[in-house]
Amino acid sequence: MDLVTLIAAVPPEPSPLTIGLRAVAVLCGLGAGLAVILVLSDYFFASYGECKIDVNNGAKEYTVQGGLTLLNALAEQKLFIPSACGGQGTCSYCKVKVLSDIGPILPTEMGQLTRLERKQNIRLSCQIKVKGDLRIEVPEEYFAIQEFRCEVLSNKQVTDDIVEIQFKLVEPDRMKFQAGKYVQVRIPRDEGLRRMRGVFGKYDFTGFNERKIDLEKVPKEKFINRAYSMSNSPGRDDIVELDVRIAPPPRETPDAPPGFASSYIWSLKEGEEVWVTGPYGDFFIKETENPKIFIGGGAGMAPMKAMILELFEVRKTTCTVKFFYGARAKKDIFYTDIFQKIADEHENFEYTVALSEPAPDDHWDGPTEFVHLTVEKALKDFGYVGNEYYLCGPPLMVDACTAMLAQKNVPESDVAFDKF
């Protein structure tokens, strides 16, 4: 067989290798081509140029890059709208009134807006996008919300499951606020996930299975914000102090991951840099001379302590103040010395602790019951109506107290609370 016939015998079909190479080339080409088209179209079509946002009828005007969500666009301009869920559309804190027409309510907003709010053009700023000039209205106090660079000053455990952490404000170095307000701590997502592993007080999370973390449920943003009430007196405006309870996995699923934000805060060491925004919230003491009753439980201590310190250190109040604190056992009580000192120095302050299940070696002779029952008994002679009530604690405690107060005909407007 000579060479010519050999070449002629080669079938015209391309070899499997050529076909394979072609396939790879075509798929890569197709994928790359379409990707380029998408990137270009995103660049050309999804850029809305510069948009003007007019806040509160000319009070502030910002020029932002269009295409972002309203929440993020405003945050870039240092106007911080409260948002505890980090833009997921679940906490419904980020409501703003939009005066311009930006289209119908989105399906993701539906569940968070009441019928009345929909009528008033209230929208979730984390869901709507800035695509043109906008006019919006936000509560005046949002302008006072700033972003603070802080340094961890101290981090000390005060009970089995609560730490008191102090941040020193660095830039800006002062925060003006009313007691009862909260701040949002900014937690880097990846670092936060890493720090879940560790020993926190009596809890040892070093052995938990990281694969149990459902990464789909952790927000994708680089930073995740979590809200905590401040416990320092407004007189100390150079620090932010928080009481943070560790969140161990629920009893029925002991191998679930621990709380994301609480383990991060527990793991913070002196000198570390932390970013917070604040002050947020509408939980504060009214400017009246009525007797003030504070009822707290667990880490709900934080705003209670701030409010009582504000009353006695800043306002030098003369009205009657009673503080009831509910805990499980003696080991869960903290800040006793602070309140004991105020009680010793001021006749108008009274501090009562109720334990629901004191340990046998607590030698507890105080009230042994849920705190709302203690309040009910203690106020029998004093009277229930005419006082202002400030509640902060676990939802069950707050619900029990509000139900008890409603039964005593205390008007709802006299009961302020912060559930968490």
Partner 1 sequence: MVPEIGADAAPYIIFIAAIFTNNILLSNFLGMCSFLAISNQIKASFGLGMAVTFVLTMTATINWVVNAYVLIPLKIEYLQFIAFIIVIAALVQFVEIVIERFSPALYFALGIFLPLITVNCAILGVCLFMVRRHYTFAQALGYGVGSGLGWMLAIVAIAGIRHKLRFSNVPKPLEGVGITMILAGLMAFAFMGFAGMVDIK
- Residue 216 CB, nearest approach to partner 1 (Å): 17
Return the number of other C-beta atoms located less than 10 Å from residue 95's C-beta.
Answer: 21
Name residue 278's beta-bridge partners. Answer: 146
Question: 409 — alpha (psi -120 to 50), left (phi > 0) or beta?
Answer: left
Rounding to the nearest 10 degrees, give the CA dihedral for residues 165, 171, 174, 177: -70
CB of 20 to partner 1, least distance (A): 9
- Of 18 and 114, which has the nearer Cβ to partner 1? 18
> Which distant-in-sequence residues (6+ apart) come within 8 Å of 236 by Cβ?
none
* Site membership for partner 1, residue 359 (CB under 8 A): no
* Residues contacting partner 1: total by CB under 8 A: 21
Shortest distance (Å) from residue 110 CB to partner 1: 11
Task: Choose the binding region for partner 1 from 16-24, 224-232, 277-285, 300-308 (rule: CB under 8 A).
Answer: 16-24
Q: Contact 213/257 with Cβ under 8 angstroms?
A: yes
CB of 118 to partner 1, least distance (A): 15
DSSP H stretches of helix in 121-203: 189-194
Single-letter amino acid, residue 356: S
**Sheet (strand 292-297) strand order:** 349-355, 321-327, 292-297, 388-393, 415-419
Using alpha carbons, select from 383, 384, 402 the residue that is nearest to residue 393.
Answer: 402
| 12 or 58: CB nearest partner 1 | 12
Could you give the count of Cα atoms lying within 13 Å of 382 in the half-sphere of its Cβ?
17
- Name which of residues 35 to 64 contact partner 1 (CB under 8 A): 35, 37-38, 41-42, 45-46
| Neighbouring-strand partners of residue 64 | 51
CA distance 305 to 126: 32
Shortest Cβ distance from residue 45 to partner 1 (Å)?
4
Contact pick of 15, 31, 111, 220 for partner 1 (by CB under 8 A): 31
Q: Which of 30, 110, 170, 385 is close enough to bind partner 1 by CB under 8 A?
A: 30
Binder among 15, 26, 99, 210 for partner 1 (CB under 8 A): 26
Out of 14, 235, 386, 395, the only residue in the binding site for partner 1 (CB under 8 A) is 14
For residue 192 the two structure tokens come to 């936060």
- For residues 79 to 108, the per-residue mask of contacts with partner 1, x marking binding by CB under 8 A and - elsewhere, is ------------------------xx-xx-
> From the CB of 27, what's the least distance to partner 1, in Å?
7
Distance CA 189, CA 219 (A): 8
Query: What does the angle CA 258 – CA 264 – CA 270 come to, to the nearest 5 degrees?
Result: 145
Stretch that binds partner 1, among 23-31, 144-152, 381-389, 399-407 (CB under 8 A): 23-31
List binders of partner 1 among 128-167 (CB under 8 A): 131
Task: Note the residues at the interface with partner 1 (CB under 8 A).
Answer: 14, 19, 22-23, 26-27, 30-31, 34-35, 37-38, 41-42, 45-46, 103-104, 106-107, 131
